[in-house]
Amino acid sequence: MGAAADNAAPRQGEAERGRGRAPAPAPEAREVKVVVEEPPPAAVARLQAQRALPPLQVTTQAAPTPMTVASGGVDQPPPLANYQPVMQTPPPPLASLNSRVYTNQISLCLFLLHLAAAGLAVGFFVYRAVKDIVENPRSHNARREQSLLRKWLPPVEGAVALSIVLAFAWQKAVRAWPRAMVRVILWSGFGVTLAVGSLLMCFSMPATVGLGVAMVVFSIGTGLYACWVTRRVGFTARVFEKAVQPVDKFRGLNGPAYLMVAAGFVWISVWCVAVIGAVNFPFPGLTILALVVSLAWTAEVMRNVANLTASRVIALYYLRGMQSSVQFSFQRALSYNLGSACLGSLFVPTIEALRILARGLNLLEGEDEFMFSCAHCCLNVMNAVFEYGNSWAFVHIAAYGRGFVQASRSTWLQFERLPGMPALADADITSSVCFLTGVTSGALCVALAGSWTFVTHKHYTATVSLMAFYVGYLMTRIGMALPQACVGCYYVCYAENPGSRLFDKTIPDRLGKMQEDVVAPTPRFPHQHVGAA
């Protein structure tokens, strides 16, 4: 009864308010203790059956007016009239590192066809030389081939063996003393070629004198180049020092380069015998020229395979902090990325030669109207071609599995996003340093093979000297693929992630000096472009 009376009291008060009567004064506040007892389940079931609750309905209506301070509420901030929810865009996904697509498949097919044809030709010429010597040892062709084997082949093989030693020695020296070796390589290229050229001229034969004059002229150009890049030597030495540091973190990273050098030694040895067999073939000049071009492309592909292997390992270390497998990277370089290596092996040397020519002509600007127009023409061609085919592309080929042209474009676009980076990359002389190691090794091989041949069989001196220089240069470039790949990764990975803790202030400080016009620009980027960068 007490509970019913309490329930009736509020209803009566509401009825009185509905008839307009004044509400009763509020009772004084008093402490009320409420004890809640859970009813039995049977009672709850009867209550739900008697009073069924309607389903929940959702209606749209205007927001209620906020209560004011006078009515006992708290002021609420007014709603925004044009409220737009902020959508946070997710960061772009990282590029895939395990692409299973064969890049530049046309170039890959052409190289494999060329390799098959070269293998058949070399095998045929070797078989022909051996057959003539075995079956008809007294014939004119057999006697001539025997003479070549005794007089021509041993000095060339000695030059190949010396080039292997020099290749590994250069690589080890660059890794051990990077700061000192930049200056040593620049000036040894000048001194060694000058000395060997003078030696060939002292042999006093028309062919050797011609080769000697060519080497002396080249040495003079090398000396002038060493004087021109004196201001860049210190920075290049620091870049070499920082770039080769991660090599010690990866065991066996030299393995692919050693394997390619060994494969090159075997191929060149068989190739030399094939050249002897091609001497008695119709059109021997064209045949030997085709063999020389084939050897150049094959050796360049070997070098770029070693380059791609080292580039993938070092690039993933810089970009993702990954400890990549050298064996897996080598397998990718020989399979999925081999087409890009073949295409790059064809175009990068040509583009680099065009680059050197354009810079040389651009230095003559203003002296002659014809040369002035040629300099600008070559410079514009080089600028257009270089962005779609450059040696920096091997980093993105190895890391992301891109084609040669796409990788060239993507790396150069990354350089362009960072102020001053294109001029810095264009002024890099590490590729020239690696090139001069090959030239120096080739000249030393000429000194060995030329002197040997001059003492034993004088009339073969020029031919053996030329061949020794060629194979010495190629073998050394294969061995120097590792430090060149490290430098390429250092530049490209910095441009992609400048804030990485793996990079120091070497590149930022250089960029600051270039913007202050403290550093002399290259012909491709005159002062106004460097300052704008």
Model pLDDT for residues 217-231, shown as the tens digit of each residue? 999 999 998 998 888
Give me the count of residues in the chain. Answer: 533
User: CA angle at residue 351 from 261 to 330, to 5 degrees?
Assistant: 35
**Rounded-to-integer distance, Cα 392 and Cα 524, Å:** 17
- pLDDT of 73 > 60? The answer is no
**Rounded-to-integer distance, Cα 524 and Cα 144, Å:** 52
Note the pTM of the prediction, 2 decimals: 0.77
DSSP assigned state of 501: T
DSSP assigned state of 432: H
176, 164 contact by CB (below 8 A)? no
What pLDDT sits at residue 514? Answer: 82
Q: How far apart are the first and last CA of the chain?
A: 93
* pLDDT tens-digit series, residues 202-216: 998 999 999 999 999
* pLDDT tens-digit series, residues 259-313: 999 999 999 989 988 888 888 788 888 999 999 999 999 999 999 999 999 999 9
Closest CA to 522 of 383, 342, 337: 383
- pLDDT of 16 > 70? The answer is no
What pLDDT sits at residue 402? Answer: 92
Amino acid 44 reads V
* pLDDT tens-digit series, residues 137-164: 777 777 877 877 887 888 988 998 999 9
* pLDDT tens-digit series, residues 340-386: 999 999 988 888 777 666 666 666 555 455 555 666 677 777 777 88
358, 524 contact by CB (below 8 A)? yes
**Rounded-to-integer distance, Cα 67 and Cα 314, Å:** 66
What pLDDT sits at residue 431? Answer: 87
> DSSP string of 392-409?
THHHHHHHH---HHHHHH
Token pair of 4, please? Answer: 């019913």
Q: In this prediction, what percent of the chain has a pLDDT beyond 90?
A: 45
What pLDDT sits at residue 321? Answer: 86
What pLDDT sits at residue 69? Answer: 44
Q: What mean pLDDT is predicted for residues 123-134?
A: 84
CA dihedral 4, 8, 10, 16 (to 10 degrees): -170
- pLDDT of 196 > 90? The answer is yes
Q: Is 61 exposed, middle or buried (0-12, 13-18, 19+ CB in 10 A)?
A: exposed
* pLDDT tens-digit series, residues 403-419: 999 999 999 999 999 98
**Rounded-to-integer distance, Cα 247 and Cα 483, Å:** 9
Q: What is the CA radius of gyration of the chain?
A: 39
Average pLDDT, the chain: 80
- pLDDT of 10 > 80? The answer is no
What pLDDT sits at residue 428? Answer: 87
What pLDDT sits at residue 40? Answer: 57
What pLDDT sits at residue 2? Answer: 46
**Rounded-to-integer distance, Cα 342 and Cα 307, Å:** 12
